Every structure is written in structure tokens, then in C-alpha cells.
Amino acid sequence: MLAHLRPAIVLTVFFILLTGLAYPLAITGVGQLVFPAQAKGSLISENGKVIGSSLIGQNFAEPRYFWPRPSVTADAPYNAGASTGSNLGATSANLKERVAADVERLKAAGMPAIPADAATASGSGLDPHISPEYAKAQAARIATVRGVPEADILALIDHETYGRLLGIIGEPRVNVLEINLALDERTLK
């Protein structure tokens, strides 16, 4: 009986070490070598201090910044430890009330047109991107607050807009943290 169990135990230990230790360490090492920034979380630093990640949204609420889309993460907006959607369906009264409140807030801020992503959350609740349309709808407010021509803000939006991957995959998008950093760098107000 021991003759039958010994090869099974040896193979089990071997494959645990191979697939549970050696392979993950090798892939982590390759990732660190080939994609060092992405492997470390796509962190964005300013003056040597990490201020965020290009992969996780942040809550900008001041009128002088581009606002992200709504976040529905638990406890606090853009809480990376609580990534989740709201799980509210199209017939949910709570969802309709939240979207209506967001639309009213945006109208009160003087937004002329309200794109869908301005009032709807992403599936994860952590999306760092907004549509170019939502960014452009905020241009007048930001230009007024910062005392710069709206054309400068629109040019910045065009410069910071990512296109479709390979020209066909995904939608054009603007990373909110990156454009706000570029905005601070260019206007300094």
C-alpha cells in the first residue's frame, strides 16, 4: 500500500511546489521585468510622493477640477477596498433617485449637457476614466474658476484623451487623475 501512496504524495508535493510557488514567483518576476510600472500598480507620483494610481479613480469634488463619474463603493467614494457595483437594476427606485440627484447636482453646477457617465457609476465603482463628452461638459466651469480661456481647457481635454485600442477596441476616454494633474501643471491656480 505504501508503494502506491508514495508516488501520489511525491507528485502532490511536487505539483504544489511547482504550481503554488515556482510558477507564481516566475510570473511575478517576469511581470516586474517586462512591465515594471504596471506590476507595481500603475502608481502616479508627484515630488516623490505617491498620489494615486492611473487604474483607480479618485474623488475630486472641487469646482476647479474635473469630476469623476459617481462611485458606489461602500463607506466612501472610490474606496479601493470595497470595489463593487450597486447591484441596482433599471427598475430600482433607489437607482432612479440617485441618478436624478446627480443630474440635479450637475445642472446646478451649470453643466449644459449631461452625458450618461456623468450620472451613472461603473461596474466596479472605481473607474478612473470619464468620456471626452463629460470632460468637455465641465470645461466652462473649470475655465471660469481657474480664470483661463475655455479653449485652453478644451485643448487639454483633446491632448489627454486616450483613443480606442488598435482603433477599434473600447471607447475614447480621459483619465481624471491624469488630466487634473496636467491642469494643475498648466494653470497653477
| Residue 162: count of CB within 10 angstroms of its CB | 14
Strand 161-162 relative to strand 173-175: parallel, antiparallel, unpaired?
Answer: antiparallel
pLDDT at 65: 93
pLDDT at 79: 76
User: CA nearest 142: which of 114, 183, 186?
Assistant: 183
3-state secondary structure of 162: strand
Question: In the chain, which ranges are E strands?
Answer: 43-46, 49-53, 129-130, 161-162, 173-175
Q: Consecutive sets of 10 residues in the chain, 189 residues long: mean pLDDT of each?
A: 88 96 95 88 83 84 90 74 73 86 87 86 83 94 92 94 91 93 79
pLDDT at 74: 65
Instruction: Quote the pTM value.
Output: 0.77
| Cα 2–chain centre separation | 55
**Beta-bridge partners for 78:** none
| CA 117/CA 114 separation, integer angstroms | 8
| CA 95/CA 67 separation, integer angstroms | 20
pLDDT at 188: 58
* DSSP at 169: B
